[in-house]
Amino acid sequence: MDVLKTAVKELKHEMYFDKDMFIDLQMMLFSLRESDVTSSIGNKGKFYTFIMYFLTTFKCDFYEGFIQVLQSWPFSTIFFTEPQLIRFINYCSSTKDSYIYIDATGSVVKALPDQKKPYLYLICFKDGEDSSNLLPLAGALLTDHTTTSISYWLSIVRRGIATVKGRFIRPSYIVIDFSPALLNAILLSINNTNIQSYLRWCYNVIQKNYTSEQLYSMSCIRFCCAHVIHAFTRSLSKIKISKNVRRKATMAFAILLNGNDFDQLYKLIGCIICIFGSPDNDDAEEYLDQVIIVSDSNLYIVL
């Protein structure tokens, strides 16, 4: 096993331009940009002067190659290609309700000396019915996980879309986890608004105060059901309640999260308050069994 690990490590090193990660990325930036023969936007054949190699930050105003921004401190790199932007634009233009998914993970890149843990951020969209049609739009490696840093990444992607299309193509829905920094960055860079104005917009949507044009003037942000349910069940596991109650409570929460019949949701909230709101309610579990019925893997709500 140790021999195989050593062989894999040596093979990886042979694929690097340089042992130093920063130099390797800079060389990759130049190499991919010079070898890009498909992008229509950019200055073909004009190589940066050699002195640019030693600059701390590399930023571009066109979209040749793959790495679009490379910064040393705090470390960040933003990467996407022009064909990715074009595929996303075609996807949004061909469907009324377009979705993008934005998430981050810290388990991909090893820690950098004297910097915060790097996270891989990725924007994906699903173009087609098959599950294999999940495509990346743009990615970033960031060590600064603030709203400002994430917003800068999203703004670069937005500028790329606007440059290729001539105007910004807004996705109908954006699915994220419940990261406050990511939420505020999306509101700032994609919707050009803040949380207060966005919540006011959501209220007007629920009240049906908007025309179709007003509805699509802003991307609707939705929390990923899997992330939210996982966090909810984690919290429930800390409470000493039976497995049956925990399961049905999770189902009720999932219905609240995904339901679109507001009259039914208001009634369900009332039932939940009645069931879980009073410590003196002796028949709460029986009442819960009457409200949420599970039979042969089917779920029924009786209100």
Beta strands in the chain (DSSP E): 57-59, 67-71, 76-79, 99-105, 119-126, 134-142, 173-176, 220-223, 292-295, 298-301
pLDDT at 50: 38
Average pLDDT over residues 76-81: 92
In a 13 Å sphere around the CA of 198, the CA atoms on its Cβ side amount to 18
246/18 Cα distance (integer angstroms): 53
pLDDT at 67: 81
Helix (H, G, I), strand (E, B) or coil at 104: strand
pLDDT at 272: 81
Average pLDDT over residues 69-76: 86
Q: Using only the alpha carbons of the chain, give its radius of gyration.
A: 24
170-223 pLDDT, tens digit per residue, is: 999 999 998 999 999 999 999 999 999 999 999 898 888 998 888 888 999 999
The more confidently predicted of residues 91 and 1 is 91
pLDDT exceeding 90 applies to what percent of the chain?
35
Average pLDDT over residues 223-231: 89
Torsions phi, psi for 290 (to 5 deg): -75, -30
Torsions phi, psi for 105 (to 5 deg): -140, 145
Sequence spans of domains, the chain: 2-223, 226-301
Q: Is the pLDDT of residue 46 over 50?
A: no
Pick from 31-45, 61-75, 88-102, 192-206: least confident:
31-45
pTM of the shown model? 0.77
Burial 84-99 (b: 16+ CB within 10 A, else e): bbbbbbebbeeeeebb
pLDDT at 7: 65
The more confidently predicted of residues 208 and 287 is 208
∠ Cα 69 22 8 (to 5°): 115
pLDDT at 265: 82
Indicate the residue type of 256.
Answer: L
The more confidently predicted of residues 71 and 14 is 71
pLDDT at 75: 87
98-113 pLDDT, tens digit per residue, is: 999 999 998 887 788 8
Q: Is the pLDDT of residue 49 over 70?
A: no
Average pLDDT over residues 67-81: 88
Pick from 24-33, 34-43, 86-95, 204-213: least confident:
34-43
Q: Is the pLDDT of residue 230 over 50?
A: yes
Confidence of residue 45 (pLDDT cuts 50, 70, 90): very low
Pick from 77-81, 134-138, 234-238: least confident:
234-238
Pick from 18-22, 92-96, 287-291: least confident:
18-22
Count Cβ atoms within 10 A of the Cβ of residue 186 and give its class: 0-12 exposed, 13-18 middle, 19 or more buried: buried
pLDDT at 37: 66
